[in-house]
Structure 1
Amino acid sequence: MRQRHKPWADDFLKENTNLIIPNPYDKKGKWQDYFGNDNPIHLEIGTGKGQFIAGMATQHPDVNFIGIELAKSIIVMAGSKVKEAGRDNVLLLHVDAADLNGLFADNEISTLYLNFSDPWPKKRHAKRRLTFHTFLEQYRHILQPDGEVVLKTDNQGLFEYSLVSFSQFGLALKDVTLDLHSIEDPENVMTEYEERFSAKGQPIYRCRAQFSQDPQ
């Protein structure tokens, strides 16, 4: 979906460098120092308009959250939402997620969220899916040994592909849910997409996957 240009976006980025971090590659291995504490770091790839990360940061004030979003018109909306929530345990990165190893040191992240990622349904585009093996290899490095990948999507094809991809890469599947909103989970924080899709009666799929201590 094409995003409308926001004329205030550049000014917002310049005025909020404490939230949307310039030159984030300089912070590799130093993110806890930047937050100023030793709390665990959770990473969301494709943070969208920020409802999830702002909600999670409010629900878990003892966790540091980093959100990555490439679209400038979207990340400023996420920044506005985080500021509105008054959270100081969130940082946003206006970068492409293709080089996570350049952004984070080994074992620097404890949990990674993939929320309603682009399914890239055509086979020739499979390598762009965030659960393709080249991305999983990066996750393996930046996540702590007991770290988890948490996937939520409304796309059955992406979900099935991801379960296979996780398993083939040696991740243990945990908490595989085919209809998330049919169960009561007070810990679940919905994204904007999730609210929209669930309101239409579409099932929301979720799973947690954990790398083994001795990855293949």
Structure 2
Amino acid sequence: MRLRQNKPWADDYIKENHHIIIDEPFVNKGKWKEAFGNDQPLHIEIGSGKGKFIQGMAEQFPEVSFVGMERVKAVIVMALKKVKEHELPNARLLHENANDVREMFEENEVDQIYLNFSDPWPKNRHEKRRLTYHTFLEQYQSILKPEGRLVMKTDNRHLFEYSLVSFSQFGCVLEEVTMDLHSLDDETNVMTEYEEKFSEQGYPIYRCVVRFPS
């Protein structure tokens, strides 16, 4: 489970760093290149946790602009600390719920989406909450450019298998399906906090890369 304890200093810290955590992301819809002040590709991570992934990606790929979304305040301030301390001009954060990303990103505005270790919502009655349920896929398809990709990583085999079926039923092309990511020795792979934890415990990490139907 994600860290959720109260941090009394969180509100003030977020206000002090509103240039990193965007106050009104809806205003930037269709204008994210202007917000970053460049013409770089735009990648977003839905569920950024404590920010290890977005920090690592922004450092490894300075030619890409990254936006991380996280709804839990006590968690996003940890990501904020990483982005600020590492002085990453190509990273921004949103303290927002990703119920409908179309409210924050314009059609065909995003080049790539990352879903890292999303909540599996294992009970059948919670299926609609899974971030690979078809209503979410409709949103991703809308904001992604035609050549855009979705990259998913998880340690949860049930969620992974469910997602592969969901992608296929939606008409997506599965460009990569990996059942043991770390066996590939992919030097470009940036691990999240959860990924490090589960990998150290011996769990395989699953990854897929998806292209949506045109």
Q: Same fold (TM over 0.5)?
A: yes
Distance 1:84 1:76 in 2: 12
Deviating 4+ runs (over 4 angstroms): none
Distance 1:45 1:206 in 2: 15
Distance 1:196 1:84 in 2: 23
- DSSP-derived class of the 1:114 partner: strand
Give TM-score scaled by structure 1 length.
0.97
Alignment match, 1:104: 105
- DSSP-derived class of the 2:71 partner: coil
Alignment match, 1:45: 46
Give the drift of 1:85.
1.6
Count of aligned residue pairs for this structure pair? 213
Give 1:40-189 correspondences, 5 Å limit: 40-189=41-190
Give the drift of 1:75.
0.6
Give the drift of 1:111.
0.3
RMSD after superposition: 0.7
Give the drift of 1:212.
2.3
Alignment match, 1:4: 5
Unaligned 5+ residue runs, structure 1?
none
Give the drift of 1:84.
1.6
Query: Could you list the per-position Cα deviations for residues 58-113 of structure 1 after superposition, in whole angstroms to 9, with x for gaps in the alignment?
Result: 00000000000000011110000111221010110001100211101001100000
Distance 1:85 1:193 in 2: 21
Letter matched to residue 32 of structure 2 = W
Query: Is the 1:50–1:79 Cα contact (8 Å) retained in structure 2?
Result: yes
Distance 2:86 2:166 in 1: 36
Letter matched to residue 170 of structure 2 = F
Letter matched to residue 176 of structure 1 = V
Distance 2:164 2:127 in 1: 14
Give TM-score scaled by structure 2 length.
0.98
Percent identity reads 61
Query: Is the 1:146–1:212 Cα contact (8 Å) retained in structure 2?
Result: no
Give the drift of 1:203.
0.2
